[in-house]
Structure 1
Amino acid sequence: MSIDRLPSPIATGPTPDAPRLDASGLDASGPARPGTPPSATVDLVRRSWALVEPQTEELTRLFYGLLFGRMPETRSLFPVNMQVQRGRLLRALVHVVQLVDRPDELEPFLDQLGRDHRKFDVADAHYDVLGGALVDAVARFSGAAWTPQIEGAWRHAYRIAADRMRTAAAAERGPASWTGVVLEHRRIGWDLAIVRVQTDTPIPYRAGQYLSVETPHRPRLWRYLSPAGPPRPDGVLEFHVRAVEGGWVSRAVVAHTTPGETWRIGPPMGRLSIESASGDGLLLIAGGTGVAPVRAIVERLVEQGATRPTTLFTGGRTTADLYDLPHLRTLGRRNAWLDVVPVIEKIDEHGILDDHRTLETGAEIGTLADVVSRYGAWRDHDVIVCGSPAMVRATVGRLLVAGTPLDRIRYDPFTLD
């Protein structure tokens, strides 16, 4: 099964089971509630999305134009430069479309979005106007293929998603965001920095989750960062930040962050936490700064007195990317249940020990996808994959081919600028 699987092109004929519209254009097929939309709705939404997907950049531009034109006050919720925000909308929309008939996966994602959007002071009216702008933008790019049945399907699916987000936001009693002061900024390479931040009160995240961060250098631009350790009573968080190409926030964090500046931090997100220190084997795969949430999981297991056998693959292009390997190996020496396997893609000046390992680090040679699959199918392991989208995609694909059950693999979709 491909994690990038998309539906086939649209079928334009009428569908009798599609939701009907009332005179106002809203879904009149009955009250929306969390759960699975009718199969006809799911099919129409997916097929119509496949039709407009090649034009997503232009579609998102139109969407924001419609939104800001209809509700100008929403413009202040977004950054001056909309390039990053447009990309995030696209990724979120694709994720919802792909999961619209899988509520067990979609509902936790919508709950997170609803809680997270509290930091923007999003009101009910914003959801309604946003939904109208989204449907109208998709309709504009669908052209003659757009039908009342397709419109009804989109409005019905959006209503289910929006109601789920509203409910999650209304039920949340914690802060909408936290304030943190930078204690330390340490560069360990031209494109990588370790940043330690202390929040006003501890954030109740679980090891493996990530947080959205706003810095004074990029107002209203939020970047997802994973703490590199479990929660601490003093509220101190450690972030590993790589300056990625085109990354407005990450590049500013690495180059310009100074101790004493104030960050704003959103509520925890993500589903990669491990709740039990015992059970089946655990396979952790971390590429680059994806080592941060993986390290947090391992340290949490240490706190719990873990007994489950755990294998941790940490990888990068060169030995310089294995910046956290000394700390991970210390954890491995102190805990017999933890096996740490370093991986690099390129051979550098440190030379080769044999066909599969480098002299300097004893690292396996190859991509993480290559190396992990050499060890077998990992059928009896819970698997967590952290890293760039390309690395996650390649690794999950190879695991599936090797025979790892899909329901044993977990990863988070939105972790970059």
Structure 2
Amino acid sequence: MKAKPWLASKWSVSEDGKTWTFTINDKAKFSNGRKVTAQAVKESFERTFAKSNRAKTFFTYDSITADGQTLTIQTDKAYPNLPGSLGDPLFVIVDVQSEREGRNFSADGPIGTGPYVVTSFTKERAELAANENYWDGDVPFKRVEVPSINDANTRAMALQSGDIDMAINIGPGEYSLFADNKDYTVTEASSLRDVMARMSQKGELKDSNLRAALIAGIDRDSYAKNLLKDTFIAGKAPLPPSLDYGFKQLKDTNPYDPNKAKTLLAKSGWTDTNGDGLVDKNGQNLSLVLYTYTSRPELTLYAEAMQADYKKIGIDVQIKIVDYTMIDELAKTGDYDLLVSSVVTANTGDPVWFLKQYWGSNIDGDNPNNGSGFNNSRFDELTALAGSTLDATIARNAIINAQQILLDENATIFLGYPKINMIGKSYLKGIHTSPSEYYVITKDLKKE
């Protein structure tokens, strides 16, 4: 994926990759009618860096300058995917001037550039109104309500009953209710998502043999085909086959083999000494805790299937369902054995950020998103190279080799890659499923 012109109508980069020049679309306006100038964009980016530590994980800059509609970003090193990084929602362009004039973005909603404006927001529901100053076409709806329905069954029922007009990511158990029904429009796309089980190396799972046993002990092919009814592709590597980063050539070092899993357990001293069906060592059964959440229906299905497969090789797994915000915190602290989640791998069009965030070495807290304890200097070198070289072939090969390190080191269980879906009532036109999953309520979504 590559960034496309929109708020920035065009851009260019210097030969050394350190100076980016963007031309801001001369037609663009904020929802309060104020013109979007390069100075306004500069202030918005500076606000993001001031408020979010995550911003510098995408890039760091030496200077940002504005002249009319021309914005220049000077970086400390080459960032080949900087336009893609700026497309991440973290860098959404807001009118900082309105904040200086007293608007509270948290309470009143931000002043942005999209077709709708936020009129109210809670954890349960967002309410939007048409942007009267929208600069890029007509806005089809006067008002849009966006309820947050985490439970997949409830989401499907709400769509069936007419309580909602459209839903995203209907689960495999309910998908057939809508797929061949003329009352609904169904769109699908290959996903950039990776459903994975992170393994914390702070406890028993610091043992590579044990991690390998956990990977070999589950039937990922069966999960995709039977449990998830072919709505998933079986997992193998960090990046899905929808991205051109060597999926076929990467070697899966631990395909499904329960006998191998048992051998690996025994090699590390885990055997069933008392005949209770569970492996033990020093008088203690091997018992692990798996955390996940419910807003994506496949995650609990995966968790339960893993629990059943692990029992077959003598491992007790307890499942704990928590709120997604807790998942994020657990990922940072490493206070888990297994952490099952669904992650977008190339939200900026480039997977380097994803690889660095989840597996880049966390030395003295400099990469807080990796609380797993996994560190590998060669992996760090390869991802640094991929994120800085202007040679696409070198970057691609570095990413492929970095992935193989994760497989060789048994760093994570890569469970599968979903197809994403968006299902709406047949009277809705312009439903479009984006692999990035960011653009849902657009000017093109209309009622006929």
Q: Which has the larger radius of gyration?
A: 2
Q: TM-score, normalised by structure 2?
A: 0.26
Q: TM-score, normalised by structure 1?
A: 0.27
User: More relative contact order in 1 or in 2 (CA 8 Å, sep 6+)?
Assistant: 2
Where is the strand percentage greater, Structure 1 or Structure 2? 2
Where is the helix percentage greater, Structure 1 or Structure 2? 1
